[in-house]
């Protein structure tokens, strides 16, 4: 089992560029989410999805879009990158949105110049 796979692992962008961070899970989990991790701030929820076709905003959604066309994939799109979006991004999945453990990918380290 691959679990949760995130690509790319590293990316450098210029301000204003757009890109998509990929996230795929092979555990047939309904619930998927995106977090960003910044020093001293833990992980903050960006967007989440409780199933294919359903997405909702988390704590810090501005500047990011998501879609969930399949159970397996949950891409995160940066529409116009800003230096404030420099961070490490983690995708997670769980069987449902309750107290089940979140399975995290290994993260994408993104730098915006």
Min. distance of Cβ 103 from another protein in angstroms? 8
Q: Total residues at the site for another protein (CB under 8 A)?
A: 26
Point out which span in 20-28, 35-43, 62-70, 78-86 binds another protein (CB under 8 A).
35-43
Q: Report helix, strand and coil shares of the chain as percent, to nearest 5.
A: 5, 50, 45
| Residues facing residue 20 across a β-bridge | 77
Shortest CB 61 distance to another protein, Å: 12
Which letter, b or e, does each residue of 38-62 get, where b requires 16 or more Cβ atoms within 10 Å of its Cβ?
Answer: eeeeebebbbbbeebeebeebebbe
62 binds another protein per the rule CB under 8 A:
no
Q: Which stretch binds another protein (CB under 8 A): 17-25, 63-71, 77-85, 91-99?
A: 91-99
CA distances from 68 to 80, 81, 113 (A): 21, 21, 29
Per rule CB under 8 A, is residue 1 in the interface with another protein? no
108/14 Cα distance (integer angstroms): 16
Residues near another protein (CB under 8 A):
4, 31, 33, 35, 40-45, 48, 50, 56, 58-59, 90, 92, 97-99, 101-102, 104-107
């Amino acid at each position: 089992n691959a679990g949760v796979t995130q690509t790319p692992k590293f990316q450098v962008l210029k301000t204003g560029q757009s890109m998509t961070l990929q996230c795929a899970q092979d555990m047939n989990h309904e619930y998927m989410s995106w977090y960003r991790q910044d020093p001293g701030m833990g992980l903050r929820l960006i967007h989440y999805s409780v199933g294919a076709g359903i997405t909702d905003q988390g704590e810090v959604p501005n500047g990011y879009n998501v879609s969930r066309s399949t159970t397996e994939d949950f891409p995160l799109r940066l529409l116009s990158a800003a230096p404030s979006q420099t961070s490490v991004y983690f995708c997670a999945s769980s069987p449902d949105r309750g107290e089940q453990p979140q399975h995290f990918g290994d993260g994408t380290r993104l730098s915006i110049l």
